[in-house]
Structure formats: structure tokens, C-alpha cells
Chains A and B, each alone.
Chain A
Amino acid sequence: MNDCQNAKIRDQLPDLLHDRLGADERAAVLAHVESCADCREELELLRAARAMLQAQAPRVDVNWVVNALPAATQRAVTVQRRRPVWADWRIAAAVTLLVAGGGSFAVLRQRQAPLATSSAAVNTAQVGVPAHADSVAVVKSPTVAPTPSERTVPSRENVVVSEAGLGSGRLGDLTERQLAKLLEEMDQLQATPITDPEPVSLRVGGDDGSTGLEGA
């Protein structure tokens, strides 16, 4: 049994056998095989070998195999059950971050307030009209009406400034609008906290008198 010298055609004979050639290639290979006794002989050998290899394999019981497989339905149910648990943790983490972050921000503001004499927030509080209703809350005592002099120098306890409207850290002190904004912000929070802290540079005794902690 001789080998045809056309290696490319010989390489394609198994593909011809399995009908895996494009139309043009198939026509070219068939044309060669018709004129080449060696390739015809090799193609017959391939047919016989395929039949032998297919015949010697035992029949596999498909149902027996399938019964050992993991059930697809169990996988689907498992995935559905996991989602609420994960969502609960996300909400819990978001609330914790908000309360802790809000408390820290309020403390920071209290320390900065004496130095920030030209704060826009204080000016807004002096006239009693918030520049941004969402970000400034004026809390009045229910029993003592403020006099004009009291209004011009508001105490820090009376003015709560927070980007999130949560400067005091007490949910009970918030208005309905602030609560609504808080909930909206909670919806936008990412579940995973940032692991790396923002870089900061500490500047002590700056020329403008600020103590600022600034982002780098």
C-alpha cells in the first residue's frame, strides 16, 4: 500500500470521510481521489478503520449516565435562594457605613466650625433660608423662640450641615425629605467598600489658617 505524494490531499481524506470540507475543497479532493489509486485505497482503509473503531466500543446506557449527573433544577433553585441573603448583607453594610461615616463627619465639622468663620452654611443659617434645602437643616427649639441676636450667632448644636443630611447621626432628627434622600443614597451605594483609603496630606498651620485635611 503506497502513500500518495500529495500530502495536502492525504491530510484532508479524514475530513472528506466525515463530510467536513467546504464545497470547493470537497470537489477538489474528490477529483484527485478519482484519479489517484493510492488515495482511493487510503480512503477505503479509513472507512474500514472508522467502522472498526465504532464497532468495538460498547454501548453506553444514557439514562444510567444521566442519573448520576447533578440536577440542573437544584442549581437554579440554589442560585435564587442566595440572592436575598446577599442583598440583606449589602443593606446592612450600607447602613453601618452611613451611620459611622455620618458620625465621623459631624465630629469633624464640629472641630472645624470655629475656624471656618465665613462658612456658607453659617451664612445660610443666619438668614434662616437654606441655600440648598437638601444639604442644610435648621433645627429650632420647640420651647424658646430665637431672638434676632441669637439668629445672627447660631450655636453649632442648632446648625446641622451634612452632604447626606445625616450630620447628627440620629435618624430620628431627620425630616421626611432628608430620610428620602438618605434612602436614595443607600440605593446607590456599592456593596463592597473601598479597601484602599484615599491618600491624604496633612497640613498643619497653613498660611490661610486652615488645618485642613486635604485629598492628595
Chain B
Amino acid sequence: MSHAAHDAAGGAGRESDDQVDAELIARWKAGDDRAATALVERHAAALARFAVASGERSEVDELVQDTFVRAFNSLGGFRGESSFRTWLFTIERRLLLDRRRAEKRRRDRHEVQEGDAATEYDALDSVVADETQRRLRAAVERLSPTQREVFSLRVAEGLSYKEIAEAVGTTEGAARVHYHNAMRAVKEFLDE
């Protein structure tokens, strides 16, 4: 089976999710504020996961809020060409990049180095008792930013390569390559 067919076959659940989102968006446009609550409940956790997987450690809730505010302000322009969740990931990623650029300009500091990341994980170790999870966390953190994003969207959210490509602004083929490279890197780290 081709990869396209694979994506199509795996899209049955997504179509149902997309339909629910479309109905909620229509209700919100018609004046039903409760539909907004339902949409936030459906996608807030995924946005928080993606933010953390992308390396965001502080003010994740504010980033999620900003993402929804921006999305709802431009919901009139959402044509449903991609899924609502993928669209949210795209917005959040853009905000994340803007935030990092602003941070870099303001502090003129280096990007978070591996040592810094390890320090943060050390702080989390007290609550993460499971050794496998701790090592997995370290392995994922050592991926490149793009690999981390793709790995997170594929593994934690179950997005197809096409959806991942839309969210991170790359091609479907490149998304597949990033995923497999990330998986290989994680395995190698765990085997060390």
C-alpha cells in the first residue's frame, strides 16, 4: 500500500474528529460560546504537549491561550483545508518561534544547550520515578528541534506525515525522514 493510501486509511478517526470540530466552529460562529469551551477542552492538552516537546518550559499555559486567542480571532478565515488541530499547531509553532526570537533579541543569549536541558531534567527527576521515562525524556531532548517536533506530533498526537508537514512547514517526505531519524537517535541513546 502506498504511503498516501496509508494516510487515507488511517484517517477514518481523524475525519470524525474533524467533523466534530467543524460543527463546534459553526456553532461558535452562530453565537454559541459553549462551543468555544468544547474546542479548547478538545485541543488544549495537545497544544501544551507540543509546546513542551518543542522545548518550551515556561509559560506554556500562556502560549496555549495566545494560540487559541489568535485562532478564534481569525476563525473566519479558517477554510477547513487542514484539520483544526493541525491549524492550531501551526499557529502555536509560529508564536513559539516569535517568542524565541524576541527572547533572543532581548537577552542576546545562546540557545538552550544540552547541559541546560539536562539540568532541567534533573529537577524533574524527583517526580519522574520511572527510569525508562527519564531516559526517554533525555533522549527526546537531544533530538534536533525539527526532529523533536515531528517525533512529538507523530508519537504523542498520532498525526499523519501530511498533517505534520502542514504543521511544521515542511514536506510529507521530509517529515517521514525526520521521524525515522528521530526514532533511530532515540534507540541509539537508549542502547548506550
Give the docked Cα–Cα distance between A211 and B163 (Å): 67
B3 CB, nearest partner CB in chain A, Å:
7
Give the docked Cα–Cα distance between A199 and B48 (Å): 61
Give the docked Cα–Cα distance between A21 and B7 (Å): 9
A1 with B69, Cβ < 8 A, contacts A22-B10, A49-B136, A73-B33 known: no
When the two chains form their complex, are residues A48 and B31 in contact, meaning their CB atoms are under 8 A apart?
no
Q: Tell me which of B37, B40, B52 has the highest count of chain A C-beta atoms within 10 A of its own C-beta.
A: B40
Q: Is B168 an interface residue (CB 8 A)?
A: no
The residue from B6, B68, B157, B180 contacting A69, defined by CB atoms under 8 A apart? B68
The residue from B10, B65, B72, B187 contacting A25, defined by CB atoms under 8 A apart? B10
Give the docked Cα–Cα distance between A8 and B4 (Å): 12
When the two chains form their complex, are residues B137 and A52 in contact, meaning their CB atoms are under 8 A apart?
yes
The residue from B52, B154, B191 contacting A56, defined by CB atoms under 8 A apart? B52
Q: Is B22 an interface residue (CB 8 A)?
A: no
A52 with B14, Cβ < 8 A, contacts A58-B48, A60-B48, A76-B31 known: no
Q: Is A213 an interface residue (CB 8 A)?
A: no
When the two chains form their complex, are residues A56 and B28 in contact, meaning their CB atoms are under 8 A apart?
no
The residue from B33, B158, B186 contacting A49, defined by CB atoms under 8 A apart? B186
Q: Name the segment of A10-18, A107-115, A136-144, A148-156 touching the other chain.
A: A10-18
Task: List the A residue with the shortest CB-CB distance to B37.
Answer: A66
Q: Is A194 an interface residue (CB 8 A)?
A: no
When the two chains form their complex, are residues A53 and B190 in contact, meaning their CB atoms are under 8 A apart?
no
When the two chains form their complex, are residues B158 and A14 in contact, meaning their CB atoms are under 8 A apart?
yes
B128 CB, nearest partner CB in chain A, Å:
8
When the two chains form their complex, are residues B136 and A52 in contact, meaning their CB atoms are under 8 A apart?
yes
Contacting B at CB under 8 A, from A25-59, are: 25, 42, 45-46, 48-59
Q: Is B176 an interface residue (CB 8 A)?
A: yes
When the two chains form their complex, are residues A57 and B45 in contact, meaning their CB atoms are under 8 A apart?
yes
Q: Is A68 an interface residue (CB 8 A)?
A: yes
The residue from B13, B30, B52, B133 contacting A51, defined by CB atoms under 8 A apart? B133
When the two chains form their complex, are residues A21 and B10 in contact, meaning their CB atoms are under 8 A apart?
yes
B165 CB, nearest partner CB in chain A, Å:
14
Q: Is B147 an interface residue (CB 8 A)?
A: no
Q: Is B101 an interface residue (CB 8 A)?
A: no
When the two chains form their complex, are residues A14 and B154 in contact, meaning their CB atoms are under 8 A apart?
yes
Q: Is B20 an interface residue (CB 8 A)?
A: no
Q: Give every chain A residue within 8 A of B31 (Cβ-Cβ).
A: 72-73, 75-76
When the two chains form their complex, are residues B49 and A54 in contact, meaning their CB atoms are under 8 A apart?
yes
Q: Is B53 an interface residue (CB 8 A)?
A: yes
Interface string of B44-81 (1 = CB under 8 A from A): 11011101110000001100110011001100000000
Give the docked Cα–Cα distance between A68 and B154 (Å): 30
When the two chains form their complex, are residues A76 and B30 in contact, meaning their CB atoms are under 8 A apart?
yes
B97 CB, nearest partner CB in chain A, Å:
19
Q: Give every chain B residue within 8 A of A65 (Cβ-Cβ).
A: 40, 44, 61, 64-65, 68
Which 6 residue pairs spanning A and B have beta carbons closest together? A18-B158, A76-B31, A53-B156, A57-B49, A57-B48, A22-B9
Binding site for A on B (CB under 8 A): 1, 3, 6, 9-14, 28-33, 35-37, 40-41, 44-45, 47-49, 51-53, 60-61, 64-65, 68-69, 72-73, 124, 128, 132-133, 136-137, 140, 151-152, 154-158, 160, 176, 180, 183-184, 186-187, 190-191
Q: A56-B49, A72-B29, A76-B31 are in contact. List 7 more A-B contacts (CB 8 A).
A: A48-B133, A53-B155, A58-B48, A65-B64, A66-B40, A69-B40, A69-B72
Binding site for B on A (CB under 8 A): 1, 3, 8, 10-12, 14-15, 17-22, 25, 42, 45-46, 48-66, 68-73, 75-76
